[in-house]
Structure 1
Amino acid sequence: MRQDVNRAEQLWKNWEEKQKRLESLAGLGSESNSMIGKLKYDFLRQGLYRLSVNPSEKEQLYLHVIRSVTARLEKQLYPNPVIRTLHRLKVLLHDRPAHLKMFERQKAENMEQLTTQLKTSGFASFTGKLDNYLDYERAQISIPMTTQLADKGTMDIILKLERDRTGHYRFTEYQAGLYRDGSMQCSYTFPAEGKVTAIEAANLLEGRPVSKSYRTANGSIAQKWVQLDFRENGSKLIEFHAGYGYDLKKEIMAVASGLGVDGLGRDKIIRDLEAGKLIAMEVPDKGRYYLHANPADRSVSVLDAGKRPVALSELLKEVKEGKAAAIRSEVKLHKVQENHRAQDQPLSVGI
């Protein structure tokens, strides 16, 4: 449990919110008030079972107040001293142990579900923090973390969990912000159902698209490209589906042929590009360049050694002209060598 979270205070606020909803539904009247009083007693009593186990110092005052309130409600609900004593025995011997046992079982199940979900989404490092944040009194929980990126960048992540009607927490979304030199470059909130992993989020925030699989209306699995559009105020995620006509491997093979780079069509390279990665390549006589997928233009984008955008058409033109110049040089050199061999031939005199 985080030390800055007062679970006892949150328990009381939770009841106040619930009471408002109940009163709006039940209306006013002695019967409704009696029902709400019984619900209040059970709600606070069960909360006390959970919070009385290792409470923090700042929770003690709220717990004292809540115990006073439940004691007063108990007298109202069980005015007969004998019945009240029997009720207290039932609470001590059955209700409290049963509630704590059920709570621990549900917490373990919830932890297992969240751990699996977070690991699948690329947030394995968050799972060690879960036990410190899941107090089961708040409706929403935010778990922050910062991760280092290449080129001295960082990505701040805030994981969002929400408690459902069963009392379990669900992973609903996470906010990711890209920082360079201490200032935020861009941010986006990714919903959990989108299944965008942490690595993919970093690549998307860097401006590179990612290929994702999804289930269609008829139940089949299809592929789509997703990319963050930063042109609008507050970036948005745009999609390019299979019918869009983007063939990454075809575009890569055309670039490889034009630049004279071998190995770009390997399956691993294609998978890395689909994951939004930046691929390094050595262009003969030109040096190092980088490329990534560009479904918006049905092509691939190229960056120079300093990772600045380069016009692919210009680079292809330069490489083509370089090859032509090399061929002309070879032809000229070949002619010179032929002339040398011709001059070296011995003279013969006819008799």
Structure 2
Amino acid sequence: MTVAVNRVLLAFKTWEDRKKEIEPLFKAGAADAGSLARLQLDHLRQAAYRLRQTVRPDEKPFMLLLNNQVAKLEKQLFPNVLVRLFSQLKDRLLDGPIYLRQQEKQRTQNLEMLKIQLKDAGLGSLNGRLEQHLDPDQKQVILPLDCQLGPEKRLTLDLHFKMDAHGEFQLNQIGGKLMENGKVAKSQEFDLNEWPNLKTNQIWSLLEGRAMKQQYTDATGHENNRWVELGANTVQHYDPNYGFDIRTALDALPAITRNKDELVRYLENGQQVPTYWKQGRSYVSINVQADPANRTISLFDDKLHPTTAEKLNQQIVKQGPKVKVLSAQRTRKGVRNGQHQ
């Protein structure tokens, strides 16, 4: 069971971290003790604004410490009672409400943008949990997601959110694990700066050992595409000029029957696609996936065992000249291991 973070203590810790960043300025004479105390007062007052309405019972004793520290800093900065009273009233009636309105507006916009990003990535099921878990007093949050893929297979994802310099949470990393029979079959950390627009079905495909065509920004700052797959210990990138084209590979295997534009889209997305192998008027069920390493399309039978064109042709000969009725659901809608694009 995860223990809730004490946000009051976290506010003090955050100040200490910030103070360390300011220390070089302090030593260089660009800041004095008064300005440092003023920054600390602003920091703790803002923490008090945020926590006052949501403080938990276990945090209430620590709020006394925060309030005492605020009062101590006010006396230090405003020794004159009237000036101190004016500062407190201004803080309570003007600065505090303005700060809270700005924070609420910024947080709402931030959460809406994250929800759109999660929905596009196939993670829309998390949207209802964001407000609960992305606490503005925490700088980093990890949200777990568990997906059961079958009786013995499971995909687990860890979504890493980090607050940026503007005080907004960004989804900057996804950790993925493919579990089989309770053991980790494959794992990978995906930095979203290097994997822009990464989808959950693509993570699944990569962990299953399939290759996908990845959009990325090259060294010149231009958008480009390259094939990528997970190797034994690292990510295998293929040069953008590497000679593998899905359409050309499909043209070399005309017996694969399905809408070519669909096939190209699904295969480049890293998916394993169910379709048919056709000879004359006879068909057998197959599954296909991209194989950039060998510049071809990998073939699998209806039980997902690797096969070849020769074996499939032999299978058709054995079954005789009977015509197999194609399933509209399989040829038009069935896409294994992925979402429709």
In the alignment, the residues of structure 1 paired with residue 158 and residue 143 of structure 2 have an alpha-carbon distance, to the nearest angstrom, of 5
Q: Paired residue for 2:115?
A: 115
Which structure 1 residue ranges, 4+ long, deviate > 6 Å from structure 2?
217-220, 322-327
Q: Within 1, Cα distance between the matches of 2:79 and 2:319?
A: 104
Matching residue within 269, 274, 286 for 2:268: 274
- Per-residue CA deviation, residues 104-154 of structure 1 (Å, 9 max, x unaligned), is 111111112212222222222222221011211222111111122256421
Are the aligned partners of 2:284 and 2:316 in contact in 1 as well (CA < 8 Å)? no
Where 1:96 maps in the other structure, the secondary structure is: helix
Counterpart residue identity of residue 286, structure 2: Y
CA change 1:218–1:18 in 2 (3 A) is closer
| One-letter amino acid of the counterpart of residue 6, structure 1 | N
> How many Å separate the matches in 1 of 2:192 and 2:316?
50
Contact 1:176–1:201 (8 Å) recurs in 2: yes
> Which amino acid in 2 is paired with 1:248?
I
Task: Select 2:205's aligned residue among 170, 195, 203.
Answer: 203
* Distance change (3 Å), C-alpha of 1:222 and 1:25: closer
Match in the other structure for 1:146: 146
Comparing 236-245 with 174-183, which one deviates more in the overlay?
236-245
- Counterpart Cα distance in 2 of 1:103 and 1:140: 18
Per-residue deviation, 1:296: 1.1
Aligned equivalent of 2:243, options 245, 248, 251: 245
The structural deviation recorded for 1:43 is 0.7
Q: Which secondary structure state, in structure 2, belongs to the residue aligned with residue 62 of structure 1?
A: helix
**Match status 1:317 vs 2:310:** yes
SS where residue 165 of structure 1 aligns?
Answer: coil
Any conservation in 2 of the 1:210–1:225 contact (CA below 8 Å)?
yes
Paired AA for residue 5 in structure 1: V
Whether 1:308 aligns to 2:305 is: yes
1:282-297 to 2 correspondence within 5 Å? Answer: 282-283=276-277, 287-297=284-294
Q: When the two structures are aligned, how many residues end up with a matched partner?
A: 315
SS in 1 for 2:167: coil
Match of 1:243, SS state, is coil
Q: What is residue 337 of structure 1 aligned with on the other side? A: none
Code of the aligned partner of 2:248: K
Q: 2:333 — aligned with what? A: none
In the TM superposition, 1:168-207 aligns within 5 A as 168-193=168-193, 194=195, 195-207=197-209
- Cα displacement (A) at 1:33: 2.0
The root-mean-square deviation of aligned C-alpha atoms, in Å, is 2.9
Letter of the structure 2 residue corresponding to residue 277 of structure 1: Q
Distance 1:296 1:17, change over 3 A: same
Check whether the contact 2:258–2:276 (CA below 8 A) recurs between aligned residues.
no
Which structure has the bigger radius of gyration? 1
SS at match of 1:118: helix
Instruction: Note the C-alpha offset of 1:200.
Output: 0.7
Q: What letter is aligned with 2:244? A: Y
How far residue 209 of structure 1 moved from its aligned partner, in angstroms, is: 0.9
TM-score by length of 1: 0.81
3-state SS of 2:86 partner: helix
- Larger deviation: 40-49 or 284-293? 284-293
Q: Secondary structure of the equivalent of 2:253?
A: helix
Q: Which residue of 1 aligns with 2:325?
A: none
- 1:12–1:325: structure 2 CA closer, same or farther, 3 Å change rule? closer
What amino acid sits opposite 2:252 in the alignment? A
- Give the AA of the match of 1:136: P
Note closer, same or farther for the CA distance 1:213–1:19 as it changes in structure 2 (3 Å cut): closer
Distance in 1 (CA, whole Å) between partners of 2:243 and 2:172 is 32
1: CA distance, partners of 2:161 / 2:311: 53
Q: Return the TM-score normalized by structure 2.
A: 0.83
Residue identity matched to 2:265: R
* Deviates most, 264-273 or 317-326: 317-326
**Structure 1: which 5+ runs fail to align?**
330-351
- In structure 2, the CA distance between the partners of 1:135 and 1:294, relative to structure 1 (3 Å rule), is same
Q: Give the percent of matched residue pairs that are identical in Structure 1 and Structure 2.
A: 27
Alpha-carbon separation, structure 2, partners of 1:164 and 1:304: 49
Q: What does 1:57-206 correspond to in 2, within 5 Å?
A: 57-150=57-150, 152-193=152-193, 194=195, 195-206=197-208
**What's the secondary structure of 1:57's corresponding residue?**
coil
Distance 1:250 1:151 in 2: 37
